[in-house]
């Protein structure tokens, strides 16, 4: 079992729809969860982080965390073609080392 699992996709949604990206993790001691966006050929960019169970909203992005189910998701409302990218889920390793474990990423395609 991978420590952080994501469906590689591609996930294809029409412009204006809600894109839902999912991630599961295996370490129950993990406390911090991050979503990065990576455009093709570029480096990852931090777009959201969440530490507590529930939802956290930032503009068109909502991160959702359920520690009991070891599940974190990212919702993108009103998806735009510019949102087309690979989204990486990252989870901190327990023990507060600052080390992150990354999933393989989900490729999102937003079609005009």
Partner 1 sequence: DGGITQSPKYLFRKEGQNVTLSCEQNLNHDAMYWYRQDPGQGLRLIYYSQIVNDFQKGDIAEGYSVSREKKESFPLTVTSAQKNPTAFYLCASGRLGEQYFGPGTRLTVT
Q: Mask: binding to partner 1, 53-92, rule CB under 8 A, as x and -?
A: -----------------------------------x-x-x
d(C-alpha 2, C-alpha 108), whole Å: 21
Q: How many Cα atoms are found within 13 Å in the side-chain-facing hemisphere of 67?
A: 13
Question: How many Å apart are CA 45 and CA 28, to the nearest integer?
Answer: 25
DSSP code of residue 93: P
44 interacts with partner 1 by CB under 8 A: yes
Bridge partner list, 58? 61
Contact between 102 and partner 1 by CB under 8 A: the answer reads yes
Number of residues that bind partner 1 (CB under 8 A): 23
Taking CB under 8 A as the binding criterion, the range among 45-53, 55-63, 66-74, 76-84 that sits at the site for partner 1 is 45-53
78 CB-near residues (< 8 Å, 6+ apart): 16, 18, 60
Which CB atom, from 49 or from 61, has the smaller least distance to partner 1? 49
- The residues that touch partner 1, with contacts defined as CB under 8 A, are 4, 8, 31-32, 34, 36, 42-46, 49, 88, 90, 92, 97-100, 102-105
């Amino acid at each position: 079992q991978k420590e952080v699992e994501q469906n590689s996709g591609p996930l294809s949604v029409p412009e204006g729809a809600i894109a839902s990206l999912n991630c599961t993790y295996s370490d129950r001691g993990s406390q911090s969860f991050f979503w990065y966006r990576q455009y093709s050929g570029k480096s990852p960019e931090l777009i959201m982080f969440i530490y507590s169970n529930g939802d956290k909203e930032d503009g068109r992005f909502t991160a959702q965390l359920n520690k009991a189910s070891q599940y974190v998701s990212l919702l993108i409302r009103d998806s735009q073609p510019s949102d087309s990218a690979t989204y990486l889920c990252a989870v901190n390793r327990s023990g507060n080392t600052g080390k992150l474990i990354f999933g393989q990423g989900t490729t999102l395609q937003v079609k005009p």
